[in-house]
Amino acid sequence: MSVIEIRDLKKTFKKPVREQGIWGMFKTLFSTKYTTKDAVKGINFKVNEGEIVGYIGANGAGKSTTIKMMCGILTPSSGEVLINGKQPYKAKERKEVLKDVGVVFGQRTQLWWDLPLIESLVILREIYKVSKSDYEERLNFLREVLDLDEFMNQPVRTLSLGQRMRADLAASLIHNPKILFLDEPTIGLDVLVKDKMIKAIRQIHQTYHTTIILTTHNMDDITDLCHRVIILDEGNILYDGPLSTIKKKFGDVRNIYLTYRGNLDIEEIKNKFESIHVEGNDGNLNISFDADKIDINKVLKFIIERADLIDIKIQENSLETIVRSIYENKKY
Ligand SMILES: Nc1ncnc2c1ncn2[C@@H]1O[C@H](COP(=O)(O)OP(=O)(O)OP(=O)(O)O)[C@@H](O)[C@H]1O
C-alpha cells in the first residue's frame, strides 16, 4: 500500500531581480521585476509502506524542495503530495500529517538550542501528546540505538555535530511517526559516527517498519540502506527503480591500476581482450573491463608473463562512479 503519493508535483520559485549597491538594495525591496526558477518540474512517484528510498541528485537538483513539500514547509506551485491520502501544506490536513511524519534536516537542527536534549524530548512529547508508556518505550529504544546518554543533559548548542545529528534523529522519532524524511542526515560526520547513524536508521526501520526517504550525497549510505533509488536531475526524475538495476546496467566493471618494470605493449593487450580499456605510460597502467565478459585471472596472467609487477590495485566500479557518470551525462 502506498503511503506517499506524488502527482505532477511542481515548484517554481520567484526571486526579485537584485540591483547593485545600497540604493539598488533599497530598490530591490520595491521591485516588480522577478526571475523564476523551476526547482521541481512535474514529478510523479509512489512509496509503499516500509520502503527505504534513496532520493539522490546533484546539488540544486530539487531534492530538499521536494522534501519540504512532503512535510508541508513549502506549498507546491501545482500538482500534489499525498501523505496517507492527506496534503501536508493544507492547513486543515497538516496536523494529521505531522502526526505520521518525522523529519531531520542535516544542515540545521530543529531542537531548542539552549535546552538540554531531554527537555526538548519532553516538550515534543507534550506537543505530540504521546502517552507516558509509549514515550518511555520509545525513549529507551532511542537511548540505546543512538547512544544518547552521554549527552542527554547537555544544552543542544554544546553538542558536537555527530551528537547533534543523533539528537535530531531521536527528536524526529519520539512521536513514533510512520514516515521519516532524512535530508542529508550524515553530512559532515566522521566515518565512525556516520556508521553509527546508518546502523541506527537500519535498526529503527527493522523495529518499527518505518517508511524512509533519504537524501544524501554519500553513496555508501545508499548502498547500506536502500534497495530503491530515485535520481533527480534539474527537477526531473531521471531514474526510479532498484539499485541493483543501475549496477547491472553499468556492468560489473573492474579497474586495475598497476606499476611494472619491463616492456608492455598496450596494443597487444587490447588485441588479446575484446573491449578492454587500457591506458598508461612510464611503467604505469590503468586497465578497465567488464568482469562479466573478461576473466580477470586471464588479464593478470597475460600481464605477469610479460612484465615484473611492482604494485597492483584492483577496484570494482563503485556506485559513486556510476552515479557521477549518470549526473554528468544527464541520462540513465
Ligand atoms: N526559497 C528559495 N527561493 C529561491 N530559489 C530556491 C529556494 N529554495 C531552493 N531554490 C532553488 O531551487 C533549486 C533546487 O534547490 P534544492 O535545495 O531543492 O536542491 P537540492 O537538490 O536539495 O540541492 P543540494 O544537494 O545542494 O542540497 C536550486 O536552484 C535552488 O537555488
Is 35 within the bounds of a domain? yes
Q: Which of 215, 231, 247 is the last residue of a domain?
A: 247
Place of cell 588485441: 271
Distance CA 91, CA 246 (A): 40
Residues in contact with ligand 1 (CB, 6 Å cut-off)? 13, 15, 37, 39, 57, 59-65
Q: Are both 279 and 183 inside the same structural domain? A: no
Q: Is the per-residue pLDDT at 251 higher than 90?
A: no
Tell me the pLDDT tens digit for each residue of 272-320.
Answer: 999 899 999 889 999 999 888 899 999 999 999 999 999 999 988 778 8
Tell me the pLDDT tens digit for each residue of 45-74.
Answer: 999 999 999 999 999 999 999 999 999 999
Q: Whose CA is nearest to atom 12 of ligand 1?
A: 39
For residue 298, what are the domain limits?
A: 252-316
Q: Are both 230 and 293 inside the same structural domain? A: no
Nearest to 54 by CA among 221, 199, 204: 221
Q: Are both 223 and 290 inside the same structural domain? A: no
Q: Are both 164 and 223 inside the same structural domain? A: yes
Which CATH number characterizes residue 198's domain?
3.40.50.300
Q: Are both 72 and 159 inside the same structural domain? A: yes
Q: Which of 199, 222, 247 is the last residue of a domain?
A: 247
Q: Are both 32 and 95 inside the same structural domain? A: yes
Mutate to test the pocket of ligand 1, among 10, 63, 233 (most ligand atoms within 8 A of CB): 63
Q: Are both 145 and 186 inside the same structural domain? A: yes
Q: Whose CA is nearest to atom 4 of ligand 1?
A: 13
Measured in angstroms, how far is the CA atom of residue 184 from the centroid of ligand 1?
A: 14
For the beta carbon of residue 199, count every other beta carbon within 10 angstroms: 13
Is 86 within the bounds of a domain? yes
Q: Which of 194, 225, 247 is the last residue of a domain?
A: 247
Q: Is the per-residue pLDDT at 18 higher than 90?
A: no
Distance CA 147, CA 71 (A): 27
Indicate the average pLDDT of the chain: 91
Is 195 within the bounds of a domain? yes
How many structural domains are present in the chain? 2
Q: Whose CA is nearest to atom 3 of ligand 1?
A: 13
